[in-house]
Amino acid sequence: MSASHTQAATATSGAGLLGDTSDTQSRARFSWIPYLWFAPAIVVLFLVTLYPTFFVGWLSFQKTRYYELTGFVGLANFYEVFGSSAFWNTVFVSLAYVVGSLAGAVVLGMAAALVLNNAGATGSVLRVFILFPWTLSMSVVGSIWLWLLNPSFGPIPYLMQAVGIEPGLMLGDPGLALPLIIIVTAWWSFPYVMVMATAAMQSIPKELYEAVEIDGGGALVKFRYVTLTHILPTLGSTALTLSIMYLTLMTLIIVMTGGGPLGSTTTLSFEAFRGTVQAVNIGPTAVVSIVVLLINVALGVVYTRLTGRVTG
């Protein structure tokens, strides 16, 4: 009996020694080297993202004379911005721009994807040409359409006059400028929707379409209950991506209208840009930037949850 107790005690003490040894070895194996590999990326992230964000947040509580701080004003900048009718008009323009551009891009992209999905080799060739607008920079797109829509010598006003339609001032008309900007933005971005929708369509099993045919369903039933059902998550994530991009896009507006005429194409991002360059007190501009940031964060959270649900 004593021998067995002795062996058990020896085994227990041996296990304890092994446990202590493994803990010591695990602590000894800990190294800061892997973390050092991430240090440059963390420093860059802080310098280009986190620090500017915190600085803009702090700046929103300050009064400035250009870039010289003149004093702390608390929430005065927020009251000034949210109490301004011009700010809410800019919010409306931004909302109309995002929703209009997104609707145009999704409709055109889906139509192109449906037409070219079953076109075989011809469809592959046509996709290359349709993708062309998406490969252009916004400044090039703006310059092309600025020429096309020029009321003096542009091809589009000329054709409108040829069929008896008075083109007017085109981009110089406050009532036409925003719809024209929306059309140009949708033309530029719909190839992205087409690519994403085509990729989702090609992953749909053919057996589902065959089952609908056996049940007597036509093309509309196939689209409603098979195609649309399967690509809806992809369309949702694509729409959120484009919404974030539209909200921060200002190059096209700078090139084509400069925010005019009469502020009819001034979005939140463009107002933040213009205020930073032109305003004497950039505190209210910082508030506008924070509004854009919060909207983008909200859209980013929705996008992350949606893509996580799709992949999960």
pLDDT in tens, the chain (312 residues): 444 554 544 444 444 544 555 554 555 566 777 778 888 888 888 888 888 888 889 999 999 888 788 889 989 999 999 999 999 999 999 999 999 999 999 999 999 988 888 776 777 788 888 888 898 999 999 999 999 999 988 999 999 999 989 888 899 999 999 999 999 999 999 999 999 998 888 888 888 888 888 888 888 888 888 888 888 888 888 998 999 999 999 899 999 999 989 889 999 999 999 988 888 888 999 999 999 999 988 888 888 877 665 545
Q: Are 112 and 166 in contact (CB under 8 A)?
A: no
Residue with tokens 């055109």: 108
| pLDDT of res. 11 | 47
Burial 65-99 (b: 16+ CB within 10 A, else e): eeeeeeeebeeebbeebeeeeebeebbebbeebbe
Q: Are 62 and 72 in contact (CB under 8 A)?
A: yes
| pLDDT of res. 308 | 64
Which stretches of the chain are assigned E, i.e. beta strand?
Answer: 62-65, 68-72
Distance CA 267, CA 289 (A): 11
| pLDDT of res. 1 | 45
Counting other chains too, the contacts that 202-211 makes at CB distance below 8 Å and 24 or more residues apart are 202/117, 203/230, 204/230, 204/231
Mention every residue, 6+ apart, whose C-beta is less than 8 A from residue 104: 182, 183, 185, 186, 187, 190
- Phi, psi for residue 113 in degrees, rounded to 5: -65, -40
| pLDDT of res. 299 | 87
DSSP tag of 63: E
| pLDDT of res. 290 | 93
Q: pTM of the full predicted structure?
A: 0.82
Q: Are 177 and 255 in contact (CB under 8 A)?
A: no
- Phi, psi for residue 125 in degrees, rounded to 5: -65, -45
Q: Provide the angle, in degrees to the nearest 10, between the axes of the packed helices 283-311 and 268-278.
A: 150
| Listed residue (255, 261, 299) closest to 273, CA to CA | 255
| pLDDT of res. 18 | 46
Query: What is the fold of 86-311?
Result: MetI-like fold (1.10.3720)
| pLDDT of res. 309 | 57
| pLDDT of res. 146 | 93
